[in-house]
Each structure stands twice: as structure tokens, then as C-alpha cells.
Amino acid sequence: MKLLIARPMTPVVEARARAEFDVEIRENTLPMSQQEMLSALAEFDVVVPTLGDQFSAQIFADAGSPQCKLLANFGVGYNHIDVQSARAAGVEVTNTPGAVTDATADIAMTLLLTTARRAGEGERLVRAGQWQGWHPTQMLGHHVTGKRVGIVGMGRIGQAIARRCHFGFGMQVAYQSRSAKDLDFAAEFTPDLHKLAASVDFLVLAVPGGAETRHLINAQTLEAMNLSAILINIARGEVVDEAALISALENRQIAGAGLDVYEFEPKMPQALCEMENVTLLPHLGTATEEVRSNMGHMALDNVAAFVAGRALPNPV
């Protein structure tokens, strides 16, 4: 069984991969090209792809009958893989759920607090040597404790964010999802997204990517939000219509945004970069060594099960 890992991994994951498998680890940190993906499907039995490796329907059509029989995705999100086309070509797909939950929820809170309290803007002020000292009306931001937060998507990550908001900051939690959840804390189920958007101080996105959620947050949703509200996105960039968000921010329809993902990442609109009321992070949701190692081990667990002929731990 020949294994290809599409990106460099943490040392412990690479060491395990080399010890257990006939592995090739791609050194390039950029997404695989179309030709690289076709070669991977033709020459390897298992591939560990990740975000940006666009295994589209066209790739599988061009691949014909691939040698590869498993895409063990590194990451919980797999909207970059056309799962239906993969299965039609005889390729199973797995992911790494659970390993990313707490780290991603932590980044959501980082964005929420940083944007609300203007921390990024304040740091830039200090670094530029322009801070003239404390005074009673200096850089007044938005209070977080006790405010109302809306969570869009109440899966593992959404619930982890909601718990931090409820137990950590005494926030009133409301949420929108396909169905009401049995939760161990108070939270109001609001099935209508626009009603949720209109009722909260912070709107946090925690839905999967893909066709069903593309531009879920559009001009109409942003218009429904309060003038003082802040949007937080730790989901997938395409969940937000980026042009509509820029327009809403420029026209002060909302107070700010905290973003860890972008519609066309890593390309960044200059308009967003120039806005002081926007916090921009370089997709740091799972960026701790412990979490990335756990993700790598989970991906390799799926590989090991496949090689041994056992049931896949995390099929999608």
C-alpha cells in the first residue's frame, strides 16, 4: 500500500507515517495542482489530502479508474472533495471530526473578543507609536459579558462555542440549525436565520462548507442584523458573500466582523485589510501543535484501518 500525504505534518505524525506505511510526504505547503491530484489518484493506494486540494467531479472523471481507494482527509471539513464522485470512482472518503472542536471554538472566542474590544486596532496603535495615553473615552468597544449571541450551526463546534459564551461570559445563547438540540445549558432555538440575525449582538457561523451553505450569509441576512452587531466566521469562507459583507461594513449596516476564513483564500480583498473594525486571522482555527498532531493521527488511524481491512473509523 503506497501512501501520499499532501502536506508536511508535525514531526510525530510524520514519524508514525514513516514507521507504519510506505509513505511519500509532499514538501510543498500549497494545494496540489490538477496534475498532482491526477498523479496521486493514479500512483498511490491512499492519499491524505487537506483544505485546498480540490478533488472535484472533473478530477475523478479525468482519473478514470484510479489506483487510489481512500482519501483520508486531514480536517473535519471536506467540501473540497466531491464525495459522490469519489464513491462512484470506488474511492472512500474519511475525515477527522472531534479533534478540531475545542481549538476552533477558542478561535471563535478570540475573534469575538478581539473585534468587540478593538484589540487588533489597539495593538496596531501601540506598535505604530501613536498611543497618547489612557483617557475615559479611549477606543470604546462593545461589552461582551451578558450580551446575546446567535450560533448558526449547532454541531460539535457550535455547541463548544455556545458553552464558552454561556458559562464563560454569561451570554444569552440563541441558535439556528436543522433541528432543536438537547443541550445541557439554556439556549433558544430560532429556526429562521433572519430572525436570529435580527435578535443578536454577535452572530457566529459554525456550519459546514459546501453547496448547501454557500452564501448562507448574504446581503439580506446582513441587512437583518443590528447596526451594533458583529459577525464572526470560523466556518468556511464561502458561507459568507464576501462582497455583500464588505458593502455592509462600508455602509455601517453592522459594527464589525471577525474572520478566520475567506471566500477566495488566501486572496484577500484590500477593502477588508483597510478596515479597522475587522479582525483578520490566517485560518488559525486548528493551529496548535497538539490539535494538528491529533488530526494527523486520526487521519492515519483511518489509513491503518483501511490497510488492515477493518471498518473505517470516520467515513463521511
- Enumerate the active-site residues: 236, 265, 283
CA atoms of 112 and 135, how far apart (whole Å): 24
DSSP letters spanning 182-209: --SS--EE---HHHHHHH-SEEEE----
Inter-residue contact 92 to 273 (CB < 8 Å): no
Other C-beta atoms lying within 10 Å of the C-beta of residue 277: 17
How many other β-carbons are positioned within 10 Å of the β-carbon of residue 125? 16
Task: Give residues with Cβ within 8 angstroms of 9, minimum separation 6.
Answer: 17, 25, 74, 292, 296
Cα separation of 53 and 134, whole Å? 48
The rounded radius of gyration (Å) of the Cα atoms in the chain is 21
Stated as kind and residue range, the H or E segment containing 49 is none
What is d(CA 119, CA 82) in angstroms, rounded to the nearest whole number? 39
- The half-sphere exposure of 297 on its side-chain side, counting CA atoms within 13 A, is 11
DSSP H/E element including 23? strand 22-25
> What are the CA-CA distances from residue 244 to residues 112, 239, 263, 298 (Å)?
20, 12, 12, 37
What residues contact 217, with CB distance under 8 A and at least 6 apart? 152, 203, 205, 231, 233, 239, 240, 241, 244, 245
- C-alpha 66/C-alpha 60 separation (Å) is 8
